[in-house]
Amino acid sequence: MPALNEEGSIGSVIAALQRVGVRRIVVGDNDSTDRTAEIARGLGAIVVRAHPRGYGSACRAAALAVPPGTTA
C-alpha cells in the first residue's frame, strides 16, 4: 500500500488488515517525514522507499517488493 506521512492512521489500517487474515503487508513509503515507516515496520510490514516520489512510484515499489509466490 502507498503511504505518505500516515503515522496517525497506518497502525490502525495495518491492524485491521491483520484482523481479517492478511499476513503480508508491503508499504511503499513516499519518503515520509514522520514515523510512518517505523510504525509499519513495528507491526510487521515490509517497508520500501519509493523513488522517484509519487503515488505511482509508491505502488510500484510495494508491488515489486512482494515476495515471490505470494497470493492476494
Query: Average pLDDT for consecutive 10-residue bins of the chain (72 residues)?
Result: 97 97 94 97 96 92 87 66
**Calpha distance 67→20 (Å, rounded):** 20
Residues 6+ apart with CB under 8 A from 26: 1, 45, 46, 47, 48, 62, 63, 65, 66
Q: What is the pLDDT of residue 72?
A: 62
Exposed, middle or buried, 47 (CB in 10 Å: 0-12/13-18/19+)?
Answer: buried
Q: What is the pLDDT of residue 51?
A: 86
Please say whether the beta carbons of 33 and 7 come within 8 A: no
In the chain, the DSSP E strands lie at: 2-3, 26-29, 46-49
**pTM for this structure?**
0.87
